[in-house]
Amino acid sequence: MLKTNLFHFAILLLIGGLALSFAYTASSDTDADGVTEVVTNGSPPGATEAFDKMMAVLTHKRCVNCHPSGDRPRQGEDSHYHNFGVRRGADNHGLPALQCETCHQQENNNFSGVPGAPEWSLAPLRMQWEGLSRVEIARSILDPAKNNGRSLEETVQHLTEHELVLWAWEPGVDANGTPREKPPVPKDEYIQAVKEWAAAGAPIPEK
């Protein structure tokens, strides 16, 4: 009787161990770059909704226009190439003869329609988001090789406090006096979503 009970107990331990191993494998996958991707089914409550809100902003033209895949910034509601043949330049601030700050000042110019905010520039090419899916963008912002070596805490600070990021909710008007489109999520909700997502461990869904 004792041997039978011990045998059953051993079987239960084996089944339990396999179940835990499967659950861990299904919930987390770390790639060769050291970026952990957590699938939606293993995410804490609320993390998926927070991710959706955050990415609705980061995939919006107000952000992606300045995260182009090449050396030419985008502009406008249709994301056309920047007027005047503007190029990235060596420091992401334009070519020597046409630096960003030549036209883009510390704030919007509603007379000319030129937008402005502190530190106006293109994101470095390694931070290009144009053409990427929301999952690829999320992985990019967590990858130290692509986010200027920022920790998760520093990334959250950049996404929620940097004046150039927050300009997206105060984009001013274009040359015709037409208000520019704002991101689809209110600023306060976006900031809260970024913080909630990070507090949950920065899980990234499968798609």
C-alpha to C-alpha distance for 65 and 115, rounded to whole angstroms: 13
pLDDT digits (tens, 9 = 90+) for 147-156: 999 999 999 9
> 66 and 123 in contact (C-beta within 8 Å)?
yes
The model's confidence at residue 18, banded by pLDDT at 50, 70 and 90, is: very low
C-alpha to C-alpha distance for 125 and 144, rounded to whole angstroms: 14
> 204 and 139 in contact (C-beta within 8 Å)?
yes
pLDDT digits (tens, 9 = 90+) for 50-94: 999 999 999 999 999 999 999 999 999 999 999 999 999 999 999
Total-model pTM? 0.80
C-alpha to C-alpha distance for 69 and 159, rounded to whole angstroms: 20
pLDDT of residue 49: 97
Percentage of residues in the chain with pLDDT exceeding 70?
Answer: 80
The model's confidence at residue 42, banded by pLDDT at 50, 70 and 90, is: low
Given a cut of 90, is residue 13 above it in pLDDT?
no
Given a cut of 60, is residue 34 above it in pLDDT?
no
pLDDT of residue 7: 44
Task: Read off the pLDDT of each residue in 124-137 and give the average, rounded to a whole number.
Answer: 97
pLDDT of residue 45: 76
To the nearest whole number, what is the mean pLDDT of the chain? 86
